[in-house]
Structure 1
């Protein structure tokens, strides 16, 4: 089949897997590929590496039309189609490992930030209205000069956005003053339509930010906010009170790391007020490198409408004392049996007996539909009990995946019996059973 005979839908689908330079090259294949190049939905989304893509020149043929970089040239043509823009700073490598293309070696220091500022100025001058703006890994922008000028242009661009619905500053690691300016700019432009905000890692330090008046006022002005991602350091009773004022919040995602400031304590009253005013609220907790129960229980309060819980305990811990995972699993079952939908427990190298508590959790948590347990089961009979619960429709699971490290002769017999008894019955209920073994897989 000749290339020009391909349907335009197939061609545009291929275009979606190509970077900007390859798209331009593919547009010269034939007339059909050239026409597909101008399909509007192909330019709804753009992912841009500020320190690489903005200095890539056009090829020699297009150079006759303009001397601007390829991205600038394309955004002037297709910018009015743009809905989602992701601005990325690449992770810097040690100088000895960096590969710097010849086309970029002649640019002066700070050229990347200046080119990014020019790009934002063009977006602003063309009055391009986005629906989603994502800043990815801006923590690495510190290595470029003219960073202040770039942030000024970004603030100005944000202030002009009237239709922005999603804003992500994840891992921006900005100074408190810089991040506050971006938040205020977003409030100025799109406070009535912005419904999703991601501030995980947005601030370099949260020591005073969670009670800062500008931060609280910015959250208060976001009247349509339904989904927000925060570090635990960004939470306080005042923040919960502010989020409860409009009563529209449906998803609150909280990340807790061992490096976060956890000295402040939230109250049951603040959580209860939030869950009462926001009746459809679902709270997610992701806990990283915190394993001991006495460190976990202060922020797992009974008034939280906890829907999703993820615990990544890490591989290194204090061997001189137990991590008491039994108390943690029991707390989850006792406090959140009516709200939990998803649980991920990544507690490898755990030596505590949790089999009975996992079965209890499955039987009591009526909404639980996904349990991922990366840990030790002391008895393969536990898997048999799980299968029986699925057969009797006591759970809402669609997948059961077990991956034992080592199976002795007794456990191998149990696995064969489980596969023979339950695989077909579970398949009839659209439940996928998979048990892996180094010697056999069923």
Structure 2
């Protein structure tokens, strides 16, 4: 023990930082030296609590009472977000009781956060009591900068209560808000007055991540009406299970862009590839910077996919703003080679093209390399080609490309790789 006592407190704190939080509590009971070493903000700035397991343990309440003043970042998650029904019947009442008591403890200890995350929650009516006490705790927070309800999966009334509490108490400090998959099973465009009022309070918001069903003309106008609107990035996600069909007008986008001069938009489509499902999303007035399309292995054979029309519309409407394009098109048989070249030629700001799909000819890679050697076109920093199922002709083309462009790309400081494996085609 004498050797441990002779260690500087800072080194002892660093060593104790490798222990699980439960063991840290026990170490603090060994001696005063260890207790002083544990009383350091570095060890307690971030706390992650699993509601269905950690709240059963007494150490969670102990460390909150002893070190709550140091906690700046709090994650509230579930270790088992999808639980068997029998397990729910036996344990949910106890979990709700423990969580309500813990949220009241956080409020009583005066914990002030800068970051709050709710992830992987399981939708259940019992959580109304939990969200009530959690909302009371959030309403005491005045310094929140980062709030993420990603995959919280709560009912609209409960989620609106939490969101309203955040925007009401921390409207002068909130910079980042993520509400993707926060609401459970939306069926229509979300334009409830309470939701609109919550967005209007976000005067200094810079990043907003949202699902398309929660986006509407009223949503964009509400963001634009904020007094000091400095929104710089709006990330929109659309999934195949989302309710679609409502349109967002160009006027709403123009209004938001006039208020937020530096606004950039990212659009991610998951398992949505048919042109009739994508055309209404690609509104010309949207300042689209990042575009991602991820298709699944299962296709709706009753409709035409017409990916060519989607890419043409993407190029025509956003050639002045596109910076990154990610196309992961599994099980696709349409020829898109020429459109990739067209995109490179007509989108001067394009810095990254990630294409995971079928090329009809490896000659398109030659055309891409020729563009990179042309000083009139913008250049990628890396060209990484990993084709699959090569025939003899394409093997010979790859060998020619490596010998013809290897030295040229190196002289241009472009990392040029061609690998005979199977998966991805990327240029950035």
Q: TM-score, normalised by structure 2?
A: 0.87
Q: Tell me the distance in 2 between the aligned counterparts of 1:86 and 1:14.
A: 24
* Cα deviation, residue 153, structure 1: 1.1
Is residue 284 from structure 1 mapped to residue 266 from structure 2 by the alignment? Answer: yes
User: What is the match of residue 54 of structure 1?
Assistant: 55
- Are 1:217 and 2:197 counterparts? yes
Aligned to 1:386: 368
2:232 is aligned with 1:250? yes
Q: Residue 74 of structure 2 aligns to a residue in which SS?
A: strand
* Superposition pairs of residues 101-116 of structure 1, within 5 angstroms: 109-116=92-99
Deviation at 1:14, TM superposition (A): 7.2
The answer as to 2:121 corresponding to 1:120 is no
Q: Helix, strand or coil: the match of 1:373? A: strand
Contact 1:89 1:141 in 2 (8 A): no
Q: Secondary structure, in 3 states, of the residue corresponding to 2:186? A: coil
Match of residue 250 from structure 2 = 268
Deviation at 1:391, TM superposition (A): 3.4
User: d(CA) in 2 for partners of 1:29 and 1:49?
Assistant: 27
Indicate whether 1:73 and 2:62 are aligned. yes
Aligned pairs (5 A) from 1:183-332 = 183-207=163-187, 210-246=190-226, 247-332=229-314
CA distance, structure 1, for counterparts of residue 36 and residue 316 of structure 2? 61
- Give per-residue Cα distances to partners, 1:327-366, cap 9 Å, x unaligned: 1111111111111111111111211111111011112212
CA distance in 1 between partners of 2:64 and 2:163 (Å): 25
- 1:235 is displaced (CA, Å) by 1.2
**TM-score for both structures, normalised by structure 1:** 0.84
Structure 1 residue 41 displacement after superposition: 2.3
Structure 1 distance, partners of 2:75, 2:354, is 31
2:26 corresponds to 1:43:
no
Change (3 A) 1:93 1:335: closer
Unaligned runs of 5+ in 2: 423-428
Closer/same/farther in 2, CA of residues 225 and 379 from structure 1, 3 Å limit: same
Residue 352 (structure 2) pairs with residue 374 (structure 1): no
* Number of the residue aligned with 1:361: 343
Cα offset for 1:163? Answer: 0.3
CA distance in 1, matches of 2:154, 2:140: 21
1:430 to partner: Cα distance: 3.9
The 1:199/1:409 distance shift into structure 2, 3 A limit, reads same
Of the structure 1 ranges 304-313 and 314-323, higher mean CA displacement relative to structure 2 is found in 314-323
Could you give the per-residue CA deviations for residues 202-253 of structure 1, whole angstroms, max 9, x where no partner exists? 2224346622111111111221222111111111111111111233221111
2:415 matched residue in structure 1: 432
Instruction: State the match for 1:61 in structure 2.
Output: none
Instruction: Quote the offset at 1:96 in angstroms.
Output: 11
Structure 1 Cα separation of the partners of residues 68 and 287 of structure 2: 42
**Structure 1's 360 and 209: CA in aligned 2 closer, same or farther, altered over 3 A?**
closer
Kept in 2, the 8 Å contact 1:210–1:216? The answer is no
Distance 1:108 1:87 in 2: 18
Identify unmatched segments of 5+ residues in structure 1.
Answer: 57-68, 99-106
Cα contact 2:188–2:213 (8 A) shared by 1? no
* Deviation of 1:49 (Å): 1.0
Cα displacement (A) at 1:322: 3.1
Match of 2:74 in 1: 85
Query: Aligned residue for 1:417?
Result: 400
- Cα displacement string for residues 157-199 of structure 1 (whole angstroms, at most 9, x for unaligned residues): 1100000011111222222221221122112211121121111
- d(CA) in 2 for partners of 1:165, 1:87: 17
Looking at structure 2, the residues matched to 415 and 18 of structure 1 have their Cα atoms a distance apart, in angstroms, of 52
Give me the whole-angstrom Cα distance separating, in 2, the residues matched to 1:171 and 1:201.
4
1:182 aligns with 2:162: yes
CA displacement, residues 36-72 of structure 1 (integer Å, 9 cap, x when unaligned):
644422322122211112223xxxxxxxxxxxx1122
When residues 438 and 284 of structure 1 are mapped into structure 2, their CA distance, relative to the original with a 3 A threshold, is closer
Match of 1:104 in 2: none
CA pair 285-8 structure 1, distance change in 2 beyond 3 A: farther
Superposed displacement of residue 97, structure 1: 12
1:123, 1:157 within 8 Å by CA — same for their partners in 2? yes
- Compute the displacement of 1:319 (Å): 3.0
Distance 1:355 1:208, change over 3 A: closer
